[in-house]
Chain A
Amino acid sequence: MFNIPLVKNMLIMRGENVEEKVEGFSFPAIVKSQIAIGSRKKAGLIKIAQTKEEAISLCKEYFNRNIAGFQVEAILIEELVTIEHEYYCSIALDASGRQFYLIASKEGGIDIEEVAKTIPEAILKESFSFQEGLSEELAGKVARQLGFNGKQIDTASQIFRNLWDITFKLEAQLVEINPLVLTPSGIVAVDGKMILDDDAAFRQPIVQKLEQKKLTELEKLSKQAGFSFVELSGDIGILANGAGLTMALLDVLSELGLHPANFLDVGGGASKERVYKALELIFKLNPKAVLVNIFGGITRCDAVAQAIIEALNNFSDAPPMVIRLTGTKEKEGIALLKEAGIEAFQDVMEAVEKLDEVLSE
């Protein structure tokens, strides 16, 4: 659809009959798990299958694996090509400069991050504006700098321009081909990656389609409820508001040797229902205690208090909770909690001390 030359390939979706699908494909071939994480080759999620049988058993293995909370939803099988050289190319948004970069390197392949750190001069970076887009001249210049010659220059520069076309049409923040491979029969893209804008999902159907696939089960639940959530390895449940404040709270706890079980930013203007759902989710992690830290701006402390009271009424086995409420409607919120016999703090350090006390009981 976007005219990027690819190698011969076939996609197998979870649930499809693997034996039937690989019939007729020529081996050896590369078997690639399609999953939204980086460094797949290093993680053993991309392997060469010498025979059809090997490919079938690899596919089954991948579909059965759980990788950092993700399931492999699809597998791509690709023809093995003769690699003469591996390149890297991408279009990336430079957010603070409000412009885009065409980034390219002769040193493509799985070690590109290492290359960027150790020999930054091996990475070509040309900026262009959103209004002007990637010009033929600039694309051609980069293609020549990569050492392409003759007809290859046109092919490579057309690929770069098509990458910009994808970026523009899908509202992407990154569209990357790595590696872009020179074979005896021409230039082909062997692997790629995109970073799309979740906030553009309402007008980008592809984002809606992909959105659900990259999340763990608990993250899916939280996404539906409208808050951001990351599972961590500790034993203290955290419900806070604002990414910055939540992060600062985690920093403070970590420095005191306390270990958060999660990051949960309940989001701006959280309703009672949303806070209740957040608590429900945190209880699922079976934390030793829960720390609630709300500084109400657009979020109202009275709504938060109501959610806490309701959750404590409905979950008889809820872990001990330490609550800190301040900001918009704090008096009302604290009064509600008091009526229900729940202590609440206005000072965060007092709350953290109380938490430490609760944990050592």
Chain B
Amino acid sequence: MNKMYISENSKVVVQGITGTQGMFHTKLMVEYGTNIVAGVTPGKGGQEIYGIPVFNEMKEVRAETGADTSIIFVPARFTLAAAMESLNAGITMTVIITENVPVFDMIKLVERANEKGLHLIGPNCPGMLIPDKIKLGIMPDNMCHYGDVAIISKSGTLSYEITKAVGDENIGVSAYVGIGGDPVRGTPMQEAVAYYSDDSKTKTIVLIGEIGSDEEEKTAEYIKEHVSKPVIAYIAGKSAPEGKRMGHAGAIISGDFGTAQGKIEALRKAGALIADTPWDVPKMIKEVM
């Protein structure tokens, strides 16, 4: 079940490699040492970007290069199609960087991915980093070195902030996973926690959450039952005003779920240590080490 697995041996294809963001971040990933074997942009096959061959479709890529991992930078309205192409070509791990993907597209995609055994991360996420080994995403690459703390986050920049603070204190990171903050996505927080709870290289888990949804509460239940490693959590949004979109259904489905206070309480009760500010995290890791 180690589907979330990527390593320096992963063969990566960039979907949307000829776009501004795709091109810019391909360069940074290559510089980091990521093994990018191909790019895909329909209609642009035959070109080369930084010496990387560009193909028209994923099936070709798979046949020609044996790529097993993909990262998607295509515009939101084409994201479902791009991910389905990856899935049908036999890719086993896909990171979707694209933001503003319609919710119904994600519902369809995640169902299919689960059936076919494709592991999805995202959408609207920074991706995944195994420090000093592989960068599969858009996160800054000077944040930290390899070590034994797994960082799992719904938020992008906030997790950069925390990961950098951790790195600055010379604490190493076994994996950084930005799961994204969209309502429907490939990797629920609980699944990521479960993975790193079983991962032999990880000794401590840092969880970064924010207001909205009931994921942190669900994750807290999981932690209580199954996780023996120390978990340090930071939840953003304690001072946030009540959202305009909090309609009847939100209140009905979730009761008091969704507030920062509710999440903090649930996690604390499950045995997690709660950081008051993002910058308290490194100190707390040292205390449990």
Contacts and interface: CB of A to CB of B under 8 A. Distances in A.
A295 B155 CA distance: 12
A342 to B, nearest CB: 22
B213 A248 contact: no
A230 interface: yes
A131 interface: yes
A349 B240 contact: no
B183 interface: yes
Contacts of A245: 155-158, 160-161, 236
Interface in B75-101: 76-77, 97, 99-101
Interface string A14-52: 000000000000000000000011100000000000000
A130 B158 contact: no
A135 interface: no
Contacts of A92: 249, 252-253
Contacts of A203: 77, 102
Given A96-B215, A123-B252, A230-B241, A38 B247 contact: yes
A90 B239 contact: no
B104 A171 contact: yes
What band does the interface of chain A fall in when counting residues whose beta carbon is under 8 Å from B?
35 or more
A222 B77 CA distance: 22
Given A247-B240, A254-B239, A174 B249 contact: yes
A193 interface: yes
Nearest to B208: A244
Contacts of A248: 158, 161, 234, 236, 277-278
Given A199-B100, A247-B211, A326-B164, A101 B253 contact: yes
Given A247-B211, A296-B140, A116 B25 contact: no
B72 to A, nearest CB: 14
A112 B107 CA distance: 28
A174 B247 contact: yes
Nearest to A171: B104
Contacts of A296: 140
* Interface residue SS majority, chain A: mixed
B239 A251 contact: yes
A243 interface: yes
A176 B102 contact: no
Contacts of A117: 251, 255-256
B184 A98 contact: yes
Nearest to B215: A96
B111 A251 contact: no
B103 interface: yes
Given A94-B253, A348-B279, A328 B140 contact: yes
Contacts of A120: 255
Contacts of A200: 102-104
Interface string B113-143: 0000000000010100000000000111000
B245 interface: yes
Interface in A197-226: 197-200, 202-203, 214
Given A90-B249, A98-B111, A112-B248, A297 B157 contact: yes
Nearest to B260: A251
A95 B103 contact: yes
A229 to B, nearest CB: 12
Contacts of B33: none
A193 B159 CA distance: 35
A300 to B, nearest CB: 8
Most chain A CB neighbours (cut-off 10 Å) among B25, B214, B246, B249:
B249
A195 B249 contact: yes
Contacts of B210: 243-244, 247
B39 interface: no
B139 A197 contact: no
Interface string A167-207: 00001011010100000000000000101011110110000
A146 B248 CA distance: 19
9 contacts: A36-B244, A38-B246, A96-B213, A112-B252, A193-B248, A195-B245, A199-B100, A245-B236, A269-B21
Instruction: List the 8 shortest-distance A-B pairs measured between CB atoms, nearest first.
Output: A244-B155, A242-B157, A244-B158, A95-B183, A92-B249, A245-B157, A254-B239, A247-B236
